[in-house]
Amino acid sequence: MAVTALKPGYKFEPLDLQKNFHGNQLNYVGWDHHLMFCAPFCYPVPPTLTFKELRDTVMAEAFSAHPMFNDINWDEATWLLDGKPFTPKLDASLAEQGVGHKSVLRFQTPDRGYQNAGV
């Protein structure tokens, strides 16, 4: 969303620049159609983290609160990276796959939420 300053010449450096996260980058991850989570989670992770580590360790910390998370068949899940179809390589780093600072990853599973709540 574009913002117009009321005062001409008003400029500032945003505080959420990657350089302010001690070598980490912010990555947002959301699980579509699972309404227990109202918005994507934001994780500060190193760009060298593999996708498998993100999925199996970092994501599991938050998403495992959902009663269906442990039943996900990851071979059936589909992914979006910044709104475009994405096929993750498990052993490649986030940076190698184009997952950058403030990228949004979304995944979909064949089910439609707990007791079909996401329909």
- Across the chain, which has 119 residues, the per-10-residue mean pLDDT values are 77 86 95 87 98 97 92 96 98 98 95 65
> Structure pTM?
0.85
The pLDDT of residue 4 is 77
Task: Output the pLDDT for position 15.
Answer: 85
Fold category of 23-116 in CATH: Ubiquitin-like (UB roll) (3.10.20)
pLDDT score for 5: 78
B/e letters for 9-38, b = 16+ CB within 10 Å, e = fewer, are eeeeeeeeeeeeeeeebbbebbbbebeeee
pLDDT for 1 equals: 54
Give every CB contact of residue 74 below 8 A, 6+ residues apart in sequence. 55
Residue with tokens 């580590």: 53
pLDDT of the residue at 38: 84
- Are 49 and 94 a contacting pair, CB within 8 Å? yes
In the chain, domain spans: 23-116
* pLDDT value, residue 89: 98
What is the reported pLDDT for 116?
Answer: 64
